Chains A and B, each alone.
Chain A
Amino acid sequence: MPESTRTMAFRDLPGKQENGSASIGNGKPPAAPVSSPGRGPGRGAAASLKRFLSPLLVLVLWELVCRLGWIEPQLLPAPSSVMGRLVEAASGAEFWHDFGITLYRLVLSLCIAIVLGVVLGLTAQLSRLSAAMLDAFVRLIAPIPKIALYPALILILGFENSSKVALVVADATFPVLMATWAAARSVDQKLIWSARAAGTSRANCLWKVTFPAIVPTVLAGVRVSGVIACVVVFLAEMIASTDGLGHMLTVAARAYKTVDMFVPLVWICAVGLGLNALIGYVQRKLDHGG
């Protein structure tokens, strides 16, 4: 039954920017292509080598093109010089200040988004009215480009942290909300009925029955949210440039320092991949634990 495997997939969540690419970053292929040769457990090293083959190839080609002088270094610096600048920047306190600020905003807004998304997603289970309202809310608000709200947020909350955090929360809440909702709806109704019959209140049911059952799916939503949060916090820092990694890029662009432009980009990618790996690790732990 191919349909039953589809029900829990991410395509069931409404169209939000990166949720389409939800599992692109999760370390394993979305589905095994047909012509798969037998991949035994003993081939771990070869498999991991293969995983790094194409990025390495691209890096070598890039380096070669730059070394041969086909492209001016002002336009495209070689990966080696970007690496050098990465190390150089990491030894200065200024960089760590910007990095810390970005990380702080990221973590803070992701936490708010997770709480908000889970709470909103669960309220849909409380009554038919709340479900209908939340459905309409998601359909209306999810396809809106939230970044367009940023000027308004700047006007209301100022240029500093709060407007950036608000923007990230606005963007990162939806994947968690939709994952929570989709998961809560597919919880086995018999479990809830038994708990209700045993005298648990409706609200208590949410906390004690539904919540533990949906954690794995919610984590998948959090994973998508994490990457979105990285992207949005960076863009917000570029647009209203006060501090943070995005600010570093804007400053470097104004001075036409191409090498410096790549440094914050590499870092934000690393942060996104790290976050993705971290949540994936938690997911796997939960899978094995229970």
Chain B
Amino acid sequence: MNAPAAAPKRAKALWYENPVVAMALVVLVLGALWALAAWRLGFSSFPGPVAALRALPGLLFDPQALWAMALSLGRMFIGYAWAAVFAIPLGLAMGRSRAVHEFLYPLVSLVYPMPKAALMPILMLWFGLGSFSKIFVIAMGVSLPLLYHSCLGASRIENKLVWTAQAMGMGAVSRLFRIVLPAALPEILIGCRVGVVMALIVMVSSEMIARQEGVGNLLFTSMDMAQYDSVYAVILILAVMGVVLNWLFERVRRRLTRWAESGDDVAIR
């Protein structure tokens, strides 16, 4: 018996098992803890949640801060798109062909534990101070999960599908895009969702290291100018960005792969 045996007990959901209610409760508890800690410590550099929320409109209506956020997000999506264009076909090829797998896998596993954002100083030497180095580093960070998940998806496809297409005279390239890609789509989309969170992380950390413009820089400039309320407000904005992006991608993923999922979306996802 492989199925989670707790399933039959969950017949009737209790009021706190509604995800929205549970999340609201968690936010309330965390906010209360934050307020309590801020009040107990009493540092001027550690304002409570109310002060941070009050600094939020000031940031959201400040054209400079908005521009920084738009720049960061723009770079993030360009980097993400690059990674998708390169990493997904490569991952599919890795999943289907032993030779490609044997060549690329050692390289990938070597660079896997490397902190990508730490390459910023070197990339800035190569590509200058502009946006390119930041886009590049984001693309590097995103391509690993994309590569991994598309490889996994492609290697799990039923061989009969591919053999049939081959027998009917389909070429290798069009097989990759017309048979393997759709069949591996559910797994690829999981990689896409992991990748978008990854993109946000690399974006913030690379901007914290390079410190020219963007959200990461905004954080540290407000810290240097002792505007502690806005430091926490920026953190809140970034947190909301992470949650919203993740939620959006999850929605899209479920919509696109309804045909593949068997509705086993239990608690953790």
A interface with B by C-beta (< 8 Å): 2-4, 7, 11-25, 27, 29-37, 50-55, 58, 74-76, 128-129, 131-133, 135-140, 142-152, 154-156, 178, 181-182, 185-186, 188-190, 227, 230-232, 234-235, 238-239, 246, 249-250, 252-253, 256, 258, 261-262, 265, 268-269, 271-273, 275-276
Leading 7 A-B pairs by shortest Cβ distance: A272-B113, A189-B5, A20-B145, A253-B121, A143-B246, A136-B22, A20-B194
- Tell me, rounded to whole Å, the shortest Cβ–Cβ distance linking A259 to chain B: 11
- A188/B1 in contact, CB under 8 A: yes
The interface centre, meaning the residue of B1, B96, B117 with most chain A CB atoms within 10 A of its CB, is B117
Instruction: Pick from B97, B116, B125, B267: contact of A75, CB below 8 A.
Output: B125
- Bound complex: CA of A24 vs CA of B95, how far in Å? 12
Instruction: Pick from A11, A143, A268: contact of B243, CB below 8 A.
Output: A143
Q: Which residues of A contact B17 (CB under 8 A)?
A: 128, 132
Do A34 and B96 form a contact, CB below 8 Å, given A15-B193, A227-B113?
yes
- B242/A145 in contact, CB under 8 A: yes
Do A24 and B108 form a contact, CB below 8 Å, given A143-B245, A148-B239?
yes
Mark B141-165 against chain A: 1 for CB-CB distance below 8 A, else 0.
0001111110110011001001000
Do A51 and B23 form a contact, CB below 8 Å, given A151-B235, A265-B114?
no
- B242/A152 in contact, CB under 8 A: no
CB nearest neighbor in A for B158: A2
- 30 cross-chain CB contacts under 8 A: A15-B197, A20-B194, A21-B144, A21-B145, A23-B148, A25-B113, A33-B96, A35-B97, A55-B110, A76-B126, A132-B14, A135-B19, A138-B268, A139-B19, A142-B246, A143-B243, A147-B201, A147-B208, A148-B239, A150-B208, A181-B268, A231-B113, A235-B115, A238-B209, A246-B118, A253-B121, A258-B125, A265-B119, A269-B110, A275-B113
- Tell me, rounded to whole Å, the shortest Cβ–Cβ distance linking A218 to chain B: 15
- Tell me, rounded to whole Å, the shortest Cβ–Cβ distance linking B13 to chain A: 9
- Bound complex: CA of A64 vs CA of B107, how far in Å? 18
Do A151 and B25 form a contact, CB below 8 Å, given A132-B17, A238-B209?
no
Q: Which residues of B contact A33 (CB under 8 A)?
A: 94-98, 101, 155
Do A18 and B110 form a contact, CB below 8 Å, given A29-B105, A54-B103, A151-B219?
no
Q: Is the interface of A mostly helix, strand, loop or mixed?
A: helix
Q: Is the interface of B mostly helix, strand, loop or mixed?
A: helix
Q: Which residues of A contact B205 (CB under 8 A)?
A: 145, 147, 235, 239
Q: How many residues of B contact A (CB 8 A)?
A: 92
Q: Which residues of A contact B156 (CB under 8 A)?
A: 2, 31
Q: Which of B102-147 contact A (CB under 8 A)?
A: 102-119, 121-122, 125-126, 144-147
Q: Which of B35-86 contact A (CB under 8 A)?
A: 41, 43, 45-46
